[in-house]
């Protein structure tokens, strides 16, 4: 079970970053919640495998580095989720066991970005995102551009301090307009209103935020000085009179069945609302009862969110076509009659591979249900086989690549089919796009649309041609969407990318099985590109966590003459081929070889990163969580729960003096 728990932790942390920090989720909220629920259940059954970095202990995400940190005086908690009415009845029973006679308030759950607003002596002084619940991002100037936030409370009495919590959102009409403008300008469109609102609030220029027509509903009073209230309803009435747009109270009742009827009422009207909602929230009305119940590590016990399933629409598949990826893999896609789902018009969805098509028996002319994973990625969720007429056509993967007409082969032991054409334009396009992406060489301005334009105009034919674009400025100015400023910005980004550390270049090459983490490991263990090219499989597998499949892949890549030719061209164009991180992690001894350390607490004169470097340079391995495989727990001041876990498991506990003495003698 430990393996599955570790898998879930890694998977959920990845999707949490995509949702909270990048505003680009790739799975639905429901799918994320189901994974989180599975993890919580496993951790309850096997508490010894629960790590301190478990997503079940986290609320949101780490604050972005571009904004100043704000420590929330009142922790901004998340809500526990209910997916069935049985979950709601269980919530009700837990409250009854505390000898509380509950009165519930039912509200819509707005799909936006949660923020805190703080007022001193009636004046708005600071606004921040939720972040990880304890620390958020200071976005005061951006929030001031939202006209629905009063800069001065509209009341006569002076309130020394007030903190409220609300949800910033973009309504459907504003979302439609902003995407229409983006399409006209050739810019990337937002996936949904929630992402648009989150992206707008995280703009470094408040003028951009001001143009986005954001709105806000206040849904909770976090703290107030000078006035006492008995109920949640009273607080919302007060806040409304003070000038806030407060969340609508749909129903107040002591009867949980009546509340459930209200949930069904909200769901029946869901599509008619001017803004997106993703559920309903049930809260205790009595504030004293809330204090009695308190909170868990991340969520209040006095409230719960009922999550609606993703919106689904019926349509008809008109065609199944394939796209060629940067590795040559052919991905089948469905083209269907356009439908509006989760606020946007969609007409295509990925069908992943032939196994997915065959297992779901998806055919051209089938009636299907479509939804958007994470309200972003269109997907086919069900074939309505009872609506088949006999005119449905089975799909077969083509024998020839639709772009270059080279042979298509089925990959061994996989469901994937691949074009074997070396110069296939589809692969070149995807390779260029990947090379320029933010996590690779980070060349802003070379978007998917720009890459395709440059390929069509023969301005670039391969990766190295990117670095010759400065010689073609006169041609660039004649391309639609490229003015003098955008061209200068693009050329500056290209020039800047030459100084990237070598791990970005390795990742940008798109070597099979070599992701961002593997690229960093390579950069940490080789001083330059020539060393990497000349290394053998054993050199790579000797790196901790670097597997044989990855090693064979990178060694095989550099045996290709085309790959060596590309590297040589990039060298001539001045791209950095040295590892800037190698000197920082190069081993100086093997005194800690084979030993695994966990670090807890604070240390005078040393940061944790410095201690990790010391251990790594001397052959040791540092992990974040205690397990039976841990050899040493390095303890500083104010250690956390890891100390007690180590004592239970009989792990040796050492201090920094003992670590240093081990290295000296």
- Determine the Cα–Cα distance for residues 417 and 424; give it in Å rounded to an integer: 15
CB distance 630 to 597 below 8 Å: yes
Interacting residues of 242 by C-beta distance below 8 A, sequence separation 6+: 150, 153, 154, 155
- Determine the Cα–Cα distance for residues 240 and 166; give it in Å rounded to an integer: 13
The CA-based dihedral angle spanning residues 359, 424, 404, 411, taken in that order and rounded to the nearest 10 degrees? -30
Q: What class, spelled out in words, does domain 502-584 have in CATH? A: mainly alpha
Question: How far apart, in Å, are the Cα atoms of 361 and each of 137, 317, 396?
Answer: 47, 13, 12
Q: What are phi and psi of 581, to 5 degrees?
A: -95, -10
| Chosen CATH of 69-307 out of 3.30.470.30, 4.10.520.10, 3.60.21.10, 3.40.50.920 | 3.30.470.30
Same CATH fold, 313-417 and 69-307?
no
The helix (H) or strand (E) run that includes residue 363 is strand 363-364
**What CATH number labels 2-57?**
1.10.287.610
Q: Among candidates 37, 26, 28, 16, which has minimal Cα distance to 84?
A: 37
CB distance 56 to 45 below 8 Å: no
SS3 82: strand
**Which residues in the chain land under pLDDT 70?**
16-31, 52-53, 57-66, 183-188, 191, 326-327, 342-344, 373-376, 422-423, 425-426, 544, 581-587, 624-625, 664-665
- Determine the Cα–Cα distance for residues 468 and 466; give it in Å rounded to an integer: 5
End-to-end CA distance of the chain: 40
Q: What are phi and psi of 271, to 5 degrees?
A: -75, -15
User: b/e per residue, 535-573, with b = 16+ CB within 10 A?
Assistant: beeebbeebeebeeebbebbbebbeeeeeeeebebbeee
What pLDDT score does 360 carry? 92
What pLDDT score does 497 carry? 93
Residues forming a β-bridge with 334? 320, 349
DSSP E strand stretches across 206-357: 215-224, 249-253, 277-284, 303-307, 313-324, 329-341, 344-350
What pLDDT score does 660 carry? 81
**What CATH number labels 425-497?**
1.10.150.20
What pLDDT score does 52 carry? 59
What pLDDT score does 64 carry? 46
- Determine the Cα–Cα distance for residues 393 and 320; give it in Å rounded to an integer: 10
What pLDDT score does 653 carry? 93
Q: Where are the domains of the chain?
A: 2-57, 69-307, 313-417, 425-497, 502-584, 596-664
What the block records as the tokens of 68 is 């100043």
- Determine the Cα–Cα distance for residues 74 and 117; give it in Å rounded to an integer: 12
CB neighbour class for 452 (10 Å; exposed up to 12, middle 13-18, buried from 19): middle
What pLDDT score does 162 carry? 96
The helix (H) or strand (E) run that includes residue 635 is strand 632-635
66 CB neighbour count, 10 Å cutoff: 9
User: Of 18, 108, 109, 298, which is the active-site residue?
Assistant: 109
- Determine the Cα–Cα distance for residues 104 and 220; give it in Å rounded to an integer: 14
Active site residue 109: yes
Interacting residues of 82 by C-beta distance below 8 A, sequence separation 6+: 88, 91, 304, 305, 306, 307
Residues forming a β-bridge with 367? 316
Per-residue pLDDT tens for 153-205? Answer: 999 999 999 999 999 999 988 888 887 777 666 566 776 788 888 888 877 77
Q: Residue length, the chain?
A: 665
**What is the fold, at CATH topology level, of the domain defined by 313-417?**
OB fold (Dihydrolipoamide Acetyltransferase, E2P) (2.40.50)
604 CB neighbour count, 10 Å cutoff: 7
Question: Which architecture characterizes domain 596-664 according to CATH?
Answer: 3-Layer(aba) Sandwich (3.40)
- DSSP-assigned states of every residue in 84-147: SHHHHHHHHHHHHTTT----EEEEEEE-SEEEEEEEETTEEEEEEE-TTSSEEEB-HHHHTT-T
306 CB neighbour count, 10 Å cutoff: 24
The CA-based dihedral angle spanning residues 172, 175, 176, 182, taken in that order and rounded to the nearest 10 degrees? -170
Longest dimension (CA), the chain: 81
Q: Among candidates 270, 281, 253, 251, which has minimal Cα distance to 81?
A: 281
Residues forming a β-bridge with 69? 137
Question: How far apart, in Å, are the Cα atoms of 609 and each of 168, 210, 230, 504?
Answer: 36, 39, 48, 21
Interacting residues of 311 by C-beta distance below 8 A, sequence separation 6+: 270, 271, 341, 342, 371, 372
Per-residue pLDDT tens for 76-96? Answer: 998 999 989 999 999 999 999
């Amino acid at each position: 079970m430990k393996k599955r728990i570790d898998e879930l932790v890694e998977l959920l942390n990845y999707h949490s970053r995509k949702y909270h920090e990048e505003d680009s989720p790739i799975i639905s909220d429901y799918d994320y919640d189901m994974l989180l629920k599975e993890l919580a259940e496993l951790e309850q059954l096997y508490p010894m495998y629960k790590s301190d970095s478990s997503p079940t202990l986290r609320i949101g995400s780490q604050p972005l580095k571009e904004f100043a940190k704000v420590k929330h005086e009142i922790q901004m908690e998340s809500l526990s989720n209910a997916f069935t009415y049985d979950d709601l009845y269980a919530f009700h029973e837990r409250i009854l066991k505390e000898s509380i006679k509950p009165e519930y308030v039912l509200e819509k759950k707005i799909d936006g970005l949660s923020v805190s607003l703080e007022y001193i002596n009636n004046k708005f002084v600071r606004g921040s995102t939720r972040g990880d619940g304890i620390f958020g991002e200071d976005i005061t100037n951006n929030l001031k551009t939202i006209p629905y936030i009063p800069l001065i409370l509209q009341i006569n009495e002076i309130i020394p301090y007030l903190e409220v919590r609300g949800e910033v959102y973009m309504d459907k009409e504003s979302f439609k307009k902003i995407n229409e403008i983006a399409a006209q300008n050739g810019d990337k469109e937002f996936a949904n209103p929630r992402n648009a609102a989150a992206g707008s609030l995280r703009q470094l220029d408040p003028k951009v935020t001001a143009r986005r027509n954001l709105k806000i509903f206040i849904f909770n009073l976090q703290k107030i000085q000078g006035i006492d209230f008995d109920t949640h309803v009273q607080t919302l009435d007060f806040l409304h009179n003070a000038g806030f747009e407060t969340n609508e109270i749909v129903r107040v009742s002591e009867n949980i069945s009546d509340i459930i009827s209200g949930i069904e009422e909200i769901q029946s009207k869901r599509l008619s609302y001017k803004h997106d909602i993703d559920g309903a929230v049930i809260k205790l009305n009595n504030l004293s009862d809330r204090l009695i119940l308190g909170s868990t590590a991340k969520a209040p016990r006095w409230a719960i969110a009922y999550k609606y399933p993703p919106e689904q629409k019926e349509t008809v598949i008109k065609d199944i076509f394939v796209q060629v990826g940067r590795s040559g893999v052919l991905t089948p896609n469905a083209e269907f009659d356009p439908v509006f789902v989760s606020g946007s018009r969609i007409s295509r969805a990925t069908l992943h591979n032939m196994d997915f098509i065959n297992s779901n028996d998806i055919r051209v002319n089938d009636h299907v249900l479509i939804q958007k994973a994470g309200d972003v990625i269109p997907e086919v969720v069900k074939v309505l086989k009872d609506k088949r007429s006999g005119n449905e056509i089975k799909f077969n993967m083509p024998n020839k690549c639709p772009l270059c007409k080279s042979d298509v082969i089925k990959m061994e032991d996989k469901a994937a089919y691949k074009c074997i054409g070396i110069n296939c334009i589809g692969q070149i396009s995807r390779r260029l796009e990947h090379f320029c992406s933010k996590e690779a060489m980070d060349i802003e301005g070379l978007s998917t649309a720009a890459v395709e334009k440059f390929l069509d105009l023969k301005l670039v034919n391969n990766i190295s041609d990117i670095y010759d674009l400065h010689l073609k400025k006169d041609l660039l100015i004649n391309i639609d969407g490229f003015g003098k400023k955008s061209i200068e910005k693009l050329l500056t980004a290209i020039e800047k990318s030459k100084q990237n550390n070598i791990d970005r270049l390795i990742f940008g090459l798109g070597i099979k099985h070599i992701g961002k983490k593997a690229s960093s490991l390579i950069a940490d263990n080789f001083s330059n590109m020539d060393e990497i090219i000349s290394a053998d499989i054993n050199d790579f597998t000797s790196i901790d966590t670097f597997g044989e499949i990855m090693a064979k892949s990178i060694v095989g890549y550099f045996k290709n003459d085309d790959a060596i030719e590309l590297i040589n061209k990039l060298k001539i164009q001045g791209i950095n081929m040295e590892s800037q991180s190698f000197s920082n992690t190069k081993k100086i001894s093997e005194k800690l070889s084979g030993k695994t350390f966990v670090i807890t607490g604070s240390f005078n004169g040393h940061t944790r990163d410095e201690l990790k470097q010391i251990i790594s340079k001397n052959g040791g391995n540092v992990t974040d969580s205690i397990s039976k495989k841990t050899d040493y727990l390095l303890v500083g001041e104010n250690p956390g729960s890891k100390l007690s876990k180590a004592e239970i498991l009989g792990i040796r506990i050492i201090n920094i003096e003992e670590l240093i003495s081990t290295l000296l003698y």
